Structure 1
Amino acid sequence: MKTVATFAAGALVASVARAQVVQWDIHRRQTETKLTRRQDGTVTEVITNEKLKGGYFASCTVGTPGQNLTLQLDTGSSDIWVPSIDESDSKSFLVVGENEFSISYVDGSHSKGDYIAETFEIGGATLTNLTMGLGINTDIPYGLVGVGYVASEAIVDSTRSTSSAYDNLPLLMQKQGLIATNAYSLWLNDLDASTGSILFGGIDTEKYHGDLTRINIYKDSRSGVFSSFTVALTSVQASSSSGTDSLAAEFPIPVILDSGTTFSYLPTELAEQIWQEVGAVYYDEVSLALLPCDMENSQGHFSFGFGGSGGPMINVTMDELVLPLTSGSRSIPLPDGPNAGQAACQFGIQNFSSSSTSFLLGDTFLRSAYVVYDLVNNEIAIAPTDFNATTSNVVAFPSEGAQIPSATAAPNQAEVTQGGSLTTPSYGASGGFQDDKESAASIPPPLDLSRIAVIGASMGLITVGSGFFLLF
């Protein structure tokens, strides 16, 4: 999980429960809570997304009687953990691992305490004896709902043994009969959308365009187990009115699809080509690539291909990649270069320079894709999202281990190998990216980037010891 200091999260709204399907809906800037139950038995839980902090947050109830908490949803981790609450008031509270819960993050934050078993409710759908962490000693103001593989639970990292794993949220949902199999679909919707959803146990055929295409999830090469949603990124293209460039990299690139990460992080050589296409410049003062805010109006886009030829292709437009950068209520101007003085924004694609660090496709990518995570068959299905879809057609997985409904396999995954052209692109598309946009907004007053201490910290909440290993 990785967050950015300039992104905000809010509260939550509504829930609905469906037999064999559990859905959490995502709302932005919502303040009231509303629960509804439909005749078909589905459960919808509303979570909030706001631009000024990273993440999608869910309203949950813990304990007996239940206490309402707001927790961050994260496909990049596997534990639920909650800040310490008044556990003496809960009749169902049970410590199952005293002082055994411990997570540290690369930004220096942490959460430590006990493992507990508790009642956990998501809008009318109730799980009993769910194991979760209790953050007794933590400097993080909110907890997390991790929905990844059990092999990446904090206790497994601590003991260095998968035998320590417990049934986490999606697995216990399946075992307690809420869903038929350990799988879910993610529809984040666009950056300014008021609704989106994570749907456990099914897909919604009205939330994407075209067809779902299945690609393989890859094992951790060191441990030999499935521990993250790592897939093969096999191409990136830049397209605008002035042309199309196939960008050069050592494809395939193993990337983790992680909803707990605000930005997307790619190898430096690839990120720099993307920056050149859009005119983004990296600034050491804030450890970020920045660009003029009016680039959100550019008509150019990037196409991300997966699983080799014939695999899914997702287009990400510039309005999903340009994110605010402010100091309080004050815009920050770019300090130099051809765009000096124009309002600066963060670019949604940043870089990692070391293969020891995970390459990640976070929310700046995931909003443009409808993604189905199948933790039983170890596959992910992807299709272009249908932004702001107003209809729904939920199809449940019929049984444990059933394949993703309505999805076909990418035809040439067996041919995905290390290699590929490293020819420098012509950057023929760059002119269109920078010309096909509205003119810049008014120039903000000067502000020294070096004096902004927090902005751009973009420190990741990545569990210490959960390193990244090349897979291809």
Structure 2
Amino acid sequence: MKASPLAAAGVALASTAQAQVVQFDIQKRDGPNLRDLGRRAATINGVLSNQQIQGGYFLNVEVGTPPQNITLQLDTGSSDVWVPSSSADICTQVSQRNPGCTFGSFDSDKSTSLRTVGKDEFDITYVDNSFSKGDYIQDDFHIGGVTVSNLTMGLGLDSSIANGLIGVGYINDEASLSTIRSTYPNLPVVLQQEKLINTVAYSLWLNDLDASAGSILFGGIDTEKYQGDLTKINIQRADNSNVFTEFAVELFEVQATSPSGTDTLSTSVDSLVAVLDSGTTLTYLPQDMAEQAWKEVGASFNEEFGLAVVPCSIRNVNGHFSFTFAGADGPKINVTMAELALDLFSGGPQPKFSSGPNQGQSVCEFGIQNTTGSPFLLGDTFLRSAFVVYDLVNNEIAIAPTNFNSTKTNVVAFASSGAPIPSATSAPNQSKSGPSSGTGGMSAASGFQDSDNAAPYTSAFSGPGAIIVGMTIGYTLLGGAIFGAGWL
């Protein structure tokens, strides 16, 4: 999981459930505006709130007896549910730089159904060294009209993160492996054990950047939420391991296409494996590949803030990046420029370039950033353009281009535990052959912007936004948990 760099907007949530499927819908709001969760019968379908500025997608849940309302971030890149304790310093020591636990916290003393099952045994650290520590507890967990009794969760008594998480990854990536050396049934497993869904699988539809609704659907797929065909690809095991820990897939090729043509981005990485991670706001590619992407769009890397930026007007450019998986014949997802330019902060005017070729234009964060080593992450700037099915039993991902802003629904549940993904066919000729070496040219770059601006440049920022960006840039690097035998 990686969070966004920027200040939080608010949350609004609703959800539904069906027999053998549980869905939680995703809704976006500019300020806190929470709704109660509802219920349907047949799958479990849930509402996620798109926090465009802070980054990430959030679910409204209730924990304990009597229920306490908390908003938690959905994270396919980790595996533990955890809640911030109301007594944690990050919740109580509010300041200009620390607004406190605005998404809610949990007062364990007020829950009559809580049991502590691991004193001082919850300890999770993410890629950027942000952390949460405390106890493992069991308590009632209410989500989407569904109640799970005695769900094992972490209670963050000492945390650098102000909001809790709903980790829905493999149990082999749980934080408990770093302390008690064992796993426990996490939320997706418990939903199957309680016969609310037939198998440990779910599908994710984030919709577009400005969308007010999307969903996570446990136990099934929605055929109205994607275009074309669902294609299955293999999840890759961690290096030197026989277990699956992350939703890591082979990224075969990345191409940039504009009216000028198509360029294939190259990399020195022999076999490019990327993790599909809803808890990561941006997409992180190898350094050499990211730099080529920046050159395509004329992005500049700002040393002060540690990220690549572009003029916000690039959203209107007729171009896209294509991501191809599991070989040349595998599924391809196109991500348009409208999905790759993110505002730097919420409210008020955006910072502007005060010098350089884009002087006077508003500054946006570019949705493809760099990293010098694994994990390579396909975060929300990629996932919004894809409908993704996560099958934790058969260790497969099914993927198709998303059907943006679909108002129809056709939910199909998995038939049984271990049943194949409905309506999906396997990608042919899957192989870990690694990404293409590229064409070596940048002919498409002139189609993304004026050719004079096609190389990275350095520009100063001006305006009130520059201060806020500097204060909030630390939120960018949360990332996946760095314990256990995973890719992370």
TM-score normalised to structure 1 length: 0.91
Q: Which amino acid aligns with 2:176?
A: I
1:2-21 paired onto structure 2 within 5 Å:
2-21=2-21
* Deviation of the 1:34 alpha carbon: 4.2
- Which residue number corresponds to residue 416 of structure 1? 432
Distance 1:444 1:406, change over 3 A: same
1:427 aligns with 2:439: no
Q: CA RMSD in A?
A: 2.3
Q: Which range moved further: 227-236 or 50-59? A: 50-59
> Structure 1 residues 459, 419: CA separation in 2 closer, same or farther (over 3 Å shift)?
closer
Q: Which residue of 2 aligns with 1:58?
A: 59
Give the secondary structure class of the aligned counterpart of 1:215.
Answer: strand
Look up the SS of the partner of 1:184 in the other structure: strand
User: Does the C-alpha gap of structure 1 residues 450 and 222 become closer, same or farther in structure 2, counting only changes over 3 Å?
Assistant: farther
Q: Which runs of 5+ in 2 are unaligned?
A: 86-105, 452-459
**2:37 corresponds to 1:22:** no
Contact 2:84/2:163, CA 8 A, preserved across alignment: yes
| Residue of structure 1 in register with 2:205 after alignment | 187
TM-superposition CA deviations, 1:110-138 (whole Å, max 9, x none): 21111111111112211112111111222
Deviation at 1:243, TM superposition (A): 0.8
- Using the TM superposition, name which of 132-141 and 295-304 deviates more: 132-141
- The 3 A distance-change label for structure 1 pair 291 and 62 is same
Tell me if structure 2 keeps the 8 A contact 1:301–1:317.
Answer: yes
TM-score w.r.t. length of structure 2: 0.88
With over 3 angstroms needed to count, the CA separation of the structure-2 counterparts of 1:411 and 1:322, relative to structure 1, is: same
User: 1:207 corresponds to which letter in structure 2?
Assistant: K
Q: Deviations over 1:153-212 (max 9, x none)?
A: 0011335x4xx0000000111011010000000000000001000000000000000000
2:225 partner SS: coil
Partner of 1:439: none
Partners of 1:58 and 1:70 within 8 A in 2: yes
Give the deviation of 1:49 after TM superposition.
1.2
Out of 292, 317, 320, the position equivalent to 1:298 is 317
Identity of aligned residues (%): 55
Q: Specify which of 92, 107, 114 is matched with residue 86 of structure 1.
A: 107
1:220 to 214, 235, 238: 238
* C-alpha separation in 2, matches of 1:27 and 1:450: 29
Cα shift readout 1:394-420 (whole Å, capped 9, x = no counterpart): 00001000010000000010x332474
List per-residue Cα deviations over 1:261-312 (Å, max 9, x = no partner).
Answer: 0000000110111111111011111101111110011110011000102210
CA distance in structure 2 between the partners assigned to 1:294 and 1:34 by the alignment:
38
Q: Secondary structure at the match of 1:206?
A: helix
Q: Given that residues 48 and 216 in structure 2 are in contact (C-alpha distance below 8 angstroms), is that contact kept between their aligned partners in structure 1? A: no
- Asked if 2 retains the 8 angstrom alpha-carbon contact of 1:341 and 1:446, the reply is no
Over 3 Å counting, the alpha-carbon distance change for 1:32 and 1:145 in structure 2 is closer
Q: Which residue of 1 aligns with 2:35?
A: 33
Provide the residue aligned with 1:103 in structure 2: 124
Asked if 1:132 is matched to 2:153, the reply is: yes
Q: Is the CA contact 2:6–2:55 (under 8 Å) kept in the aligned structure 1?
A: yes
Q: How many residues align?
A: 456
In 1, are the aligned partners of 2:344 and 2:469 still within 8 Å (CA)? no
| Alignment pair present for 1:374 and 2:376 | no
Equivalent pair of 1:222/1:469 in contact (CA under 8 Å): no
AA in 2 matched with 1:198: I
Match of 1:308 among 327, 334, 338: 327
Structure 1 CA distance, aligned partners of 2:355 and 2:422?
A: 51
